[in-house]
Amino acid sequence: MSQVHPCRRTTRPGSHCTCGSFTKAAGAWGEFERTHDLTDITSADFLSKVGKKTKVLARLSTVAGEKGASDTVRDIRGFALKLFTDEGNHDIVGNDLPVFFIRDPVKFPSLNRSHKRHPQTNVADSSMFWDHHNNNQEGIHCLMQLFGPRGIPASLCNIGFFGVEPDGAFKYVKIHFKPDAGVTTLDDKEAARLAGEEPDYHVKDLYNAIESWIPRKPRLTASTSSMRPRYGAIGSSKHSDYPLVPVGKLTLNKNPDNYFQDVEQAAFSPSTLVPGIGPSADILLQARMFSYPDAARYRVGPNYQQLPPNRAKYVYSPYQRDGPATINGNYVSKFTSEVEEADFEQSRELWKIYLKAGTDQVFIDNVSGHLKKAIPEVQKKTIKMFARVDEDTSNRIEKKLSEQDAGPDHVKAPNDAAGSSPAFLHLFYTLARTYPFLNMILNRIEVDRMVSLKWHH
Ligand code: HEM
Domain residue limits, the chain: 6-306, 342-444
φ, ψ for residue 172, nearest 5 deg: -120, 170
> 285 CB under 6 A from ligand 1?
no
403 alpha carbon – ligand 1 mean position (Å): 59
273 alpha carbon – ligand 1 mean position (Å): 16
pLDDT of 195: 96
105 alpha carbon – ligand 1 mean position (Å): 11
| 292 annotated to a ligand binding site | yes
Nearest CA owner, ligand 1 atom 15 = 17
φ, ψ for residue 229, nearest 5 deg: -70, 150
Among 16, 282, 290, 291, the mutation site with the greatest number of ligand 1 atoms within 8 A of its Cβ is: 16
> 90 CB under 6 A from ligand 1?
no
pLDDT of 190: 97
pLDDT of 14: 36
pLDDT of 453: 31
The H or E element that residue 173 is part of is strand 172-179
Among 62, 93, 145, 305, the mutation site with the greatest number of ligand 1 atoms within 8 A of its Cβ is: 93
195 alpha carbon – ligand 1 mean position (Å): 24
pTM of the complete model = 0.67
Nearest CA owner, ligand 1 atom 22 = 288
**Residue ranges of the chain whose pLDDT lies below 50:** 1-21, 169, 333-335, 416-421, 444-457
pLDDT of 376: 85
pLDDT of 165: 58
pLDDT one-digit tens code per residue, 67-109: 899 999 999 999 999 999 998 899 999 999 888 998 888 788 8
Strand partners, 23: 66
Nearest CA owner, ligand 1 atom 31 = 94
16 alpha carbon – ligand 1 mean position (Å): 6
CB atoms within 10 A of CB 376: 25
Among 116, 176, 292, the mutation site with the greatest number of ligand 1 atoms within 8 A of its Cβ is: 292
3-state secondary structure of 350: helix
pLDDT of 275: 80
Which has the closest alpha carbon to 410: 395, 392, 425? 425
> 251 CB under 6 A from ligand 1?
no
The Cα–Cα gap between 266 and 82 comes to 9
pLDDT one-digit tens code per residue, 258-306: 999 999 999 999 999 888 888 887 888 899 999 999 999 999 999 998 8
> 292 CB under 6 A from ligand 1?
yes
> 105 CB under 6 A from ligand 1?
yes
372 alpha carbon – ligand 1 mean position (Å): 50
> 284 CB under 6 A from ligand 1?
yes
How far is CA 47 from each of CA 210, 279, 317, 421, rounded to the nearest angstrom? Answer: 26, 17, 23, 35
292 alpha carbon – ligand 1 mean position (Å): 7
Please give the full DSSP string across 79-114, using - where no structure is assigned: EEEEEEEBTEEEEEEEESSS--S-SSGGGHHHHHHH
pLDDT of 384: 94
30 alpha carbon – ligand 1 mean position (Å): 21
Nearest CA owner, ligand 1 atom 13 = 292
> 17 CB under 6 A from ligand 1?
yes
392 alpha carbon – ligand 1 mean position (Å): 55
The Cα–Cα gap between 269 and 88 comes to 13
The Cα–Cα gap between 171 and 195 comes to 43
- The domain 6-306: what is its CATH number? 2.40.180.10
> 234 CB under 6 A from ligand 1?
no
> 439 CB under 6 A from ligand 1?
no
